[in-house]
Amino acid sequence: MQAKIALILLLLLPAISIGQDVLTAEDAIAVGLKYNYNIRIARNNARIAEKNANKGLSGFLPTLDVSGNYQLSTTTEETNSPFSFGDSDTRNLTGQIALNWTLFDGFRMFINKSRYDDLAKLGEYQARNIIENTVVRILQAYFNLVQQDQLLDVARNSMEISRTRLNKEQVRNELGSASSTDFLNAQVSFNNDRAAFLNQELQVQIARKNLNILLGKSPETAIEVKKEITIQPLTMQLEEMLDLVQKRNSSILLARQDQKIAEQNTQLMRSYFYPNLFLNSSYSITDRSISSQNPQFSRDIETQSKGAAAGLTLSFNLFNGFQDKIDLQNARLEQQNSELALKDIQNQIEGLVREKFTTFEKQMELVVLEMENVTAAEQNLELQQDRYQIGASSSLEFRDAQVNLTRAQSVLISARYQARITRLEIEQLTGNLELQ
């Protein structure tokens, strides 16, 4: 009876960690969102796209340039003319400010403004898609560590049962009440269970390392997880999910945004068939000073000039070797490709949702079935254990019951894990993944 209680607690109760906090799935998401390198990079890229949206305003605004120039020249001159400057130094200082403003460019400035805004939105969707995928990987790694920890408990429990059996057979063998065969079988069973336990310890270490990496921590960081996998039933019917997918699935949102940008690229290529109108204006000041060594010139000759100009420039490309026509044709083809890509991803996601929905229902049925198998295996082991104590059951029959229970427990743990992962994938497909 004590063995049965221990086995039930093994399956149903979470482990109690001493001296260390237990990491929950929600904690893992919070840590991953803060420290995971891929998520941090995705967020930075989204900020870059958001800041680039301001470039769309630049086409509406004029440009203002300031330039200056200072020049010093020395002239040596030999002449008999009394009007010559002779040897002289010339200093030239020029400053200019120029204004250029595009008044009309075939509506490109309006298209670019909308295009940059949509690129910022695309960056947001890309970041969300990366974050969703990373969170799913974190949760997969988290629940895999839970699974491996539970399997380790199963292996430990099986090893302890075999250890107890080996000790009893050893005592019986020493007292002469049991055959050497039973003792040797018990020893082989214990060694096999010990090997399984060591292998499972390795799987736990690997699972812990994978989770640490996804959390942005050192691979050797000690982590204790809550040893339970809770599976919530689906709250929506299939048709509700399919409707929600079209509105919230990040892959579909990305494809739809790509299509929108492709449409704007087509409009942008079409704008090159229109004329361009520019406003140009400038203002300049020039100071010139000549220092002469001719005695006839008692002081420096200084000249200052100021100038201002303004005008309109109209340009219209009549022929450039069909480049604009080819660019427009290519843009239209890219727009068609984006429309086809959107329909393709919508079709794929719909098929995937249908598959995961059916898979989850079957997996939940399997969980119930495996729970029944565990209960039956527990009862059988308890029965064989009682019969083994009184000598009514052979050691091989007892071992067979023990192996069946270990197998049933392992299959149940795996079934719960698979169902939880499928539930997680459905949450991602329908856009219901919680990203706190």
Q: DSSP string covering 130-160, please? A: HHHHHHHHHHHHHHHHHHHHHHHHHHHHHHH
Per-residue pLDDT, 44: 93
Q: What is the mean pLDDT of the chain?
A: 88
Q: Do 225 and 308 lie in a common domain?
A: no
Q: Do 262 and 361 lie in a common domain?
A: yes
- Top mean pLDDT of 59-73, 206-220, 385-399 is at 206-220
* 101 band by pLDDT with thresholds 50, 70 and 90: very high
Per-residue pLDDT, 121: 93
Q: Do 141 and 185 lie in a common domain?
A: yes
Q: Do 288 and 384 lie in a common domain?
A: no
pLDDT over 50 at 237, yes or no: yes
Q: Do 292 and 416 lie in a common domain?
A: no
Q: Do 86 and 210 lie in a common domain?
A: no
Of residues 178 and 55, more confidence is placed in: 55
Structure tokens at 269: 């290529």
CB neighbour burial string for 217-243, b if at least 16 within 10 angstroms, e if fewer: beeeeebbbbbebeeeebeeeeeebbe
Per-residue pLDDT, 295: 61
Structure tokens at 410: 């392992």
pLDDT over 90 at 390, yes or no: no
Q: Is residue 326 situated within a structural domain?
A: yes
Average pLDDT for 413-425 = 96
Q: Do 178 and 326 lie in a common domain?
A: yes
pLDDT > 90: percent of the chain: 68
Least confident of 273-282, 284-293, 401-410: 284-293
Q: Do 296 and 391 lie in a common domain?
A: no
Q: Do 149 and 261 lie in a common domain?
A: yes
Which residues partner with 301 through β-bridges? Answer: 290
pLDDT over 70 at 296, yes or no: no
- Top mean pLDDT of 59-73, 175-189, 333-347 is at 333-347
pLDDT > 70: percent of the chain: 89
Structure tokens at 318: 């009549």
pLDDT over 50 at 1, yes or no: no
Q: Is residue 392 situated within a structural domain?
A: yes
Q: Note the maximum CA span of the chain.
A: 143
* CATH number, domain containing residue 67: 2.20.200
Per-residue pLDDT, 79: 60
Average pLDDT for 57-86 = 77
Q: Is residue 183 situated within a structural domain?
A: yes
Comparing CA positions, the residue from 115, 119, 116, 111 lying closest to residue 272 is: 111
* CATH number, domain containing residue 324: 1.20.1600.10
pTM for the structure as a whole? 0.82
Q: Is residue 52 situated within a structural domain?
A: no
Per-residue pLDDT, 13: 37
Per-residue pLDDT, 339: 97
Q: How many domains does the chain have?
A: 2
Q: Do 174 and 235 lie in a common domain?
A: yes
Q: Is residue 291 situated within a structural domain?
A: yes
Question: Which residues span the domain enclosing 133?
Answer: 2-35+105-275+320-429
Residue 75 to residues 193, 287, 302, 411: CA-CA distances in angstroms? 103, 18, 17, 99
Structure tokens at 31: 């840590």
End of a domain among 259, 285, 315? 315
Q: Is residue 367 situated within a structural domain?
A: yes
CB 287 within 8 A of CB 93: yes
Q: Is residue 424 situated within a structural domain?
A: yes
Which residues partner with 90 through β-bridges? Answer: 73, 290
Q: Do 109 and 96 lie in a common domain?
A: no
- Residue 319 burial (C-beta neighbours within 10 Å; 0-12, 13-18, 19+): exposed
Of residues 59 and 18, more confidence is placed in: 59
Average pLDDT for 236-242 = 94
Beta-carbon contacts of residue 423 (< 8 Å; ≥ 6 apart): 231, 232, 234, 360
**pLDDT tens column, 340-389:** 999 999 999 999 999 999 999 999 999 999 999 999 999 999 998 888 88
Q: Is residue 376 situated within a structural domain?
A: yes
Q: Do 193 and 288 lie in a common domain?
A: no
* 294 band by pLDDT with thresholds 50, 70 and 90: low
End of a domain among 315, 343, 365? 315
Average pLDDT for 171-200 = 86
